[in-house]
């Protein structure tokens, strides 16, 4: 049974691409309060179903597949560059294939301008007209306007003309950054990428008994199951430990763990994995915003996904990627890592930032554990000590020492040298991920 929120989202998804919507219209159409309609539209924006633009309104846009996330719609471009739409509003939902900077003669400019592209140019009226005729949208920089004829042509062809007060270089940089950020998001594994869907999820319903648990356990060999109400709302989770010594006729409701930890589709796989390790659980229910079960994720699924992701080519670089790229592992038995501090890793004083330093030590610790055949681990805590300032362009040598290792935890310390002088130390505890 769908909630009002879900029904509104389904309604928005069913609307044709390019359709304009408003809070008042949704409230009237779906017979809900304006507050409920507003929350649903905001969620639709988070899911990339709509895009809201100042002075234009909210438009239904094409939801991009994750593998094609780097393609932006013209509506998103308007928001990125704080733009004003001068014409062609009906085409804001369309995606652009590429953008062209018009810093050349008109004939040369048109050679590079294809249908579906975005021409970024200043107050060159003829270039605006020719680009529209070619099938391209136009982004005018410097806050300039265009002719009424060009605006009418843009409306007729449904190709947006956007004006931004920023200069051409700034606009191109902003769009490039938005594409780059989306490429990084594309690389981040989310629960929605690997979860077991509801139709394939073994679950128990309130009112069933311990005998039903044993039957499901024998049938699937799973050790834990989510427990749901009759309308599929998550109410608990039950494991083998919960039913040990219980009578067969005893109700699942009485033995299950109520209010279990759960995750949403947009939770990152890494975050879910850390949570499972810290809480010591093997199965996490996946729920929507209203608490209805969508599926499950197991510890094995998480480990497998994280191991696979480590071997995938990366498109966008995060700070972690930059830190890893500067590391050089020396030595076979006794690990020694050489590392150069680059400008991106420094704070406003030119010294290595706390975040970059912590990332470096964590990565060195994980390499040391892998050399000891201890597989994957997560950092639980770390204490760092700066003995001397660590400056930009310093070449560091990091030596890890394993102090104590049990089945679940590893304690480690690190010595950090620059030109044979000890410049930093750290103590860290890692928690090992069970396979």
Q: What's residue 236's pLDDT? A: 93
What pairs with residue 410 in β-bridges? 405, 430
Domains of the chain, residue spans: 4-60, 74-187, 192-306, 319-432
What pairs with residue 379 in β-bridges? 430
The structure's pTM equals: 0.47
Distances (CA, A) of 40 to 7, 47, 49, 71: 9, 10, 11, 24
Domain 4-60 matches domain 192-306 at the CATH topology level:
no
Q: What's residue 69's pLDDT? A: 43
Q: Which fold has domain 319-432?
A: Thiol Ester Dehydrase; Chain A (3.10.129)
Per-residue pLDDT of the chain (435 residues; tens, 9 = 90+): 457 888 888 899 888 888 889 999 999 988 999 888 898 898 888 777 888 877 778 888 876 544 444 567 898 899 889 899 999 998 988 888 788 888 888 888 888 888 989 999 999 999 999 999 999 999 999 999 999 999 999 999 999 999 999 998 888 888 877 776 665 555 567 888 888 888 888 999 999 999 999 999 888 878 899 999 998 999 999 999 999 989 999 999 999 999 898 998 888 887 787 778 777 788 899 998 888 999 999 887 777 776 665 544 444 456 777 788 788 888 766 788 999 998 888 888 888 999 899 999 999 998 888 888 776 788 889 999 999 989 988 999 999 999 999 888 899 999 999 998 999 999 999 988 765
Q: What's residue 315's pLDDT? A: 45
Q: What's residue 64's pLDDT? A: 55
Q: What's residue 193's pLDDT? A: 80
Q: What's residue 125's pLDDT? A: 94
Q: What's residue 412's pLDDT? A: 95
Q: How far apart are the first and last CA of the chain?
A: 37
Q: What's residue 269's pLDDT? A: 80
Q: What's residue 188's pLDDT? A: 64
192-306 has which CATH code? 3.10.580.10
74-187 has which CATH code? 3.40.1390.20
4-60 has which CATH code? 1.10.10.10
C-alpha dihedral over 267, 268, 272, 275, to 10 degrees?
A: -90
């Amino acid at each position: 049974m769908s909630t009002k929120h879900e029904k509104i989202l389904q309604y928005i998804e069913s609307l044709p691409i390019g359709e304009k919507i408003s809070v008042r219209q949704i409230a009237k159409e779906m017979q809900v309060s304006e507050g409920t309609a507003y929350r649903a539209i905001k969620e639709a924006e988070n899911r990339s179903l709509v895009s809201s633009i100042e002075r234009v309104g909210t438009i239904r846009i094409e939801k991009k597949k994750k593998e094609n996330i780097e393609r932006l719609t013209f509506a998103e471009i308007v928001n990125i560059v704080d733009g004003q739409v001068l014409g062609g509003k009906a085409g804001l939902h369309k995606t652009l294939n590429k953008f062209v900077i018009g810093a050349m003669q008109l004939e040369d400019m048109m050679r590079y301008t294809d249908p579906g592209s975005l021409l970024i140019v200043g107050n060159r009226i003829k270039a605006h007209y020719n680009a529209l005729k070619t099938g391209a949208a136009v982004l005018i920089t410097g806050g300039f306007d265009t002719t009424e004829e060009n605006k009418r042509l843009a409306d007729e062809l449904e190709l947006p003309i956007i004006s931004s007060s920023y200069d051409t270089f700034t606009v191109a940089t902003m769009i490039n950054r938005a594409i780059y950020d989306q490429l990084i998001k594309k690389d981040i594994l989310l629960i929605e990428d690997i979860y077991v869907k509801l139709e394939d999820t073994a679950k128990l319903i309130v009112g069933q008994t311990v005998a039903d648990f044993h039957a499901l356990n024998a049938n699937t060999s799973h050790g834990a199951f989510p427990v749901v109400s009759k309308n599929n709302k998550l109410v608990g989770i039950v494991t083998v430990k919960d039913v040990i010594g219980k009578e067969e006729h005893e109700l699942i409701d009485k033995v299950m763990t109520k209010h279990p930890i759960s995750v949403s589709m947009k939770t990152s796989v890494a975050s879910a994995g850390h949570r499972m390790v810290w809480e010591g659980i093997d199965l996490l229910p996946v729920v929507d915003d209203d608490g209805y079960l969508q599926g499950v994720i197991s510890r094995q699924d998480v480990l497998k996904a994280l191991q696979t992701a480590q071997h995938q080519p990366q498109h966008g670089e995060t700070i972690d990627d930059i830190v890893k790229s500067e590391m050089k592992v020396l030595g076979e038995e006794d690990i020694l890592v050489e590392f150069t501090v680059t400008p991106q890793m420094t704070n406003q004083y030119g010294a290595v930032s706390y975040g970059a330093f912590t990332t470096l030590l964590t990565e060195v610790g994980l390499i040391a554990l892998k050399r000891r055949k201890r597989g994957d681990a997560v950092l639980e805590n770390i204490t760092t000590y700066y003995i001397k300032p660590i400056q930009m362009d310093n070449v560091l040598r990091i030596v890890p020492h394993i102090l104590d290792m049990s089945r679940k935890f590893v304690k480690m310390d690190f010595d950090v040298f620059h030109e044979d002088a000890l410049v930093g130390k750290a103590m860290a505890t890692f928690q090992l991920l069970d396979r």
